[in-house]
Amino acid sequence: MSLRARLLLALGAVAIAALAIADVAIFSALHASLFNQVNQNLMAQPGQGFGPGGGVPFAQRNLNAHRCPGSGFPGQLISSDYVAQVAVGSSPTANDCPAIVGGRSYTPQLPTKFSGYAPGPNGTQVAYLSVPSVQKGGPDFEVRVVKLPNQTEMIAGAPISDIENTLHRLLLIELLVTGVAVLAALGAGWWLVRLGLRPLTAVERTAENIAAGDLQRRVPNENDRTEVGRLAKALNVMLGRIESAFAARVASEERLKASDRRLRQFVGDASHELRTPIAAVSAYAELFERGAAGNADDLSRVMQGIRSETARMERLVADLLTLARLDEGQPIEHVPVELVTVCAEAVQTARTVAPEWPVTLTAAHPVEVEGDPHRLRQVLDNLLSNIRSHTPPGTQAQVSVEQAGQQAVITVSDRGPGLPSDEASRVFERFFRSDPSRSRGHGGAGLGLSIVDAIVEAHRGTVMASSAPGEGMTITVRLPLAPAAEPEPETDEESDLTVATS
């Protein structure tokens, strides 16, 4: 059964119960009031002063009525009330005055012996009872019996057909009004329940849309003042967290897939890189076995080739080991590092190793970061080595260090042949090579810039390359400043530091 049906049934049950209680209360109150009025009238009939010793006959109240013939009460008038006086324990048959209703005489069907007396005024005993008529089709009577001290019983009764008709009409009216009220309550309740459950319908539609894949949908009508509004707010919070968790899961799966692809490519590229020097060493060994050991020139050439290929494999394995450690997230040293000094040392080494590629350093003031000085030096060495590997001799390069906000910025640029922009965005991929001018002929394995990217990422920084054919390449490294580092204002006494080759 639906919630709407249960609410309507509950509303109908409550309405019926409330109306039934009200109907019973009204019916009981009117019933008591009417019968109390009848009993008050009956108390005014004979019974206190009527009997031996005189008294005023009851029927004298109704002067418009006719006399009761043979009633045993000389001069008494008859009315719509029944009056009789008998000895205790006798049946009132002769000394009674019947009630006249609709022009016909009716007498109550009284029991042989009365019971249920209660103390009354003047030492009398009083009892009340309701009985039918002796005559067929007659009215019911409300009877008051008074036991007098002289052992006689004064009986007075009044037809209660009007009261019964009134109560019957009241019962019919109550049933009709109750039925109409219940139908009206159910109709209004259906409308109110439908209006009240409209937000739940919106929740249902939202849930269906989310189940269909629209995770960005939210439940409308958030309101802290209503139960449904608070439910909508709680559901929206839950949906936000579910969406975040699902997005994180999808991102994690995508990273795993990308990592798997990179791993497969990495293994394939590493195997390819190692295959060449291993094949060369194997060829030199075969040449040695064929007699190169007996010829001094051949022996020297063989040993030189083995040493060259072994050094190449050693560099490759060292680079792979460095990348593996960085990928595993092994902790790096975190100490204050002054970048201008590190860059100056790297530039000086580059000038010494390869004077054919002139390099200059520009810096306005010292810039301090927090990190591993050896790894940061490796970043500069790899960037300058990349220029020597992929540009012709005589290509000028420039290194600059500056501070931009809360970041240290290292820029390494050259005036070499450059790269297309789409290839420049891939230079940090492992084993990436562009055209033949940037091939393995210069000794690179395609891991230098990958190591730069991994080291910078380990320092919570970013690295970006920009290039265009004929315009050289610029690589920008951004690192967060050391926590205690404060921007130093420039003064007239400060000048750019420049290191250049002659």
Q: Quick one: 331-480 is in which CATH superfamily?
A: Histidine kinase-like ATPase, C-terminal domain (3.30.565.10)
Cβ atoms 399, 362 nearer than 8 A? yes
Cβ atoms 412, 475 nearer than 8 A? yes
Residue labelled with tokens 């449904």: 228
Mean pLDDT of 183-193: 87
Which pLDDT score, from 0 to 100, does residue 60 have? 32
Q: Which amino acid is at 73?
A: F
Asked, colleague to colleague, whether 229-323 and 331-480 share their fold, the answer is no
Instruction: Give the containing element (helix H, strand E) for 285.
Output: helix 227-289
Mean pLDDT of 162-184: 91
Cβ atoms 229, 256 nearer than 8 A? no
Which pLDDT score, from 0 to 100, does residue 232 have? 81
Q: At 71, is the pLDDT very low, low, confident or very high (cuts 50, 70, 90)?
A: very low
Residue labelled with tokens 């970048």: 339
Rounded to the nearest integer, the mean pLDDT of the chain is: 78
pLDDT at 477 over 80: yes
Give the C-alpha separation, 500 to 502, whole Å: 6
Q: Is the dihedral of CA 248, 251, 252, 253 positive or negative?
A: positive
Would strands 397-404 and 359-363 be described as parallel, antiparallel, or unpaired? parallel
Q: At 5, is the pLDDT very low, low, confident or very high (cuts 50, 70, 90)?
A: confident
Q: What share of the chain is helix, strand, coil (3-state, %, to 5)?
A: 50, 20, 35
Q: Which amino acid is at 227?
A: E
Nearest to 451 by CA among 392, 381, 352: 381
Q: Is 139 exposed, middle or buried (0-12, 13-18, 19+ CB in 10 A)?
A: buried
8-state DSSP, 488: P
* pLDDT: which is higher, 270 or 3: 3
Would strands 462-467 and 397-404 be described as parallel, antiparallel, or unpaired? unpaired
Q: Which amino acid is at 149?
A: P
- 3-state SS, residue 397: strand
Chain segment 30-41, per-residue pLDDT in tens = 989 988 888 888
Residue labelled with tokens 């709680």: 234
375-to-243, 331, 367, 379, 468 alpha-carbon distances in Å: 39, 12, 17, 6, 29
pLDDT at 398 over 90: yes
Give the C-alpha separation, 478 to 292, whole Å: 53
| Nearby residues of 63 by Cβ (< 8 Å), 6 or more positions away | 77
Over the Cα atoms of the chain, what is R_g? 58
pLDDT at 59 over 80: no
Task: Report the chain's terminal Cα–Cα distance, integer Å.
Answer: 93
Which pLDDT score, from 0 to 100, does residue 502 have? 34
Residue labelled with tokens 């005589």: 394
- pTM for this one? 0.44
Which CATH fold topology does 229-323 show? Answer: Helix Hairpins (1.10.287)
Give the C-alpha separation, 45 to 146, whole Å: 10
Give the C-alpha separation, 362 to 344, whole Å: 9
φ/ψ bin of 271: left (φ > 0), alpha (ψ from -120 to 50), beta (otherwise): alpha
Which pLDDT score, from 0 to 100, does residue 480 have? 92
Domain ranges in the chain are 1-43+161-196, 56-159, 229-323, 331-480
Would strands 104-106 and 82-87 be described as parallel, antiparallel, or unpaired? unpaired
Q: At 173, is the pLDDT very low, low, confident or very high (cuts 50, 70, 90)?
A: very high
Mean pLDDT of 208-214: 80
| Nearby residues of 482 by Cβ (< 8 Å), 6 or more positions away | 336, 337, 368, 369, 370
- 3-state SS, residue 372: coil
pLDDT at 490 over 70: no
Give the C-alpha separation, 114 to 112, whole Å: 7
pLDDT at 440 over 50: no
Give the C-alpha separation, 474 to 461, whole Å: 17
Cβ atoms 447, 316 nearer than 8 A? yes
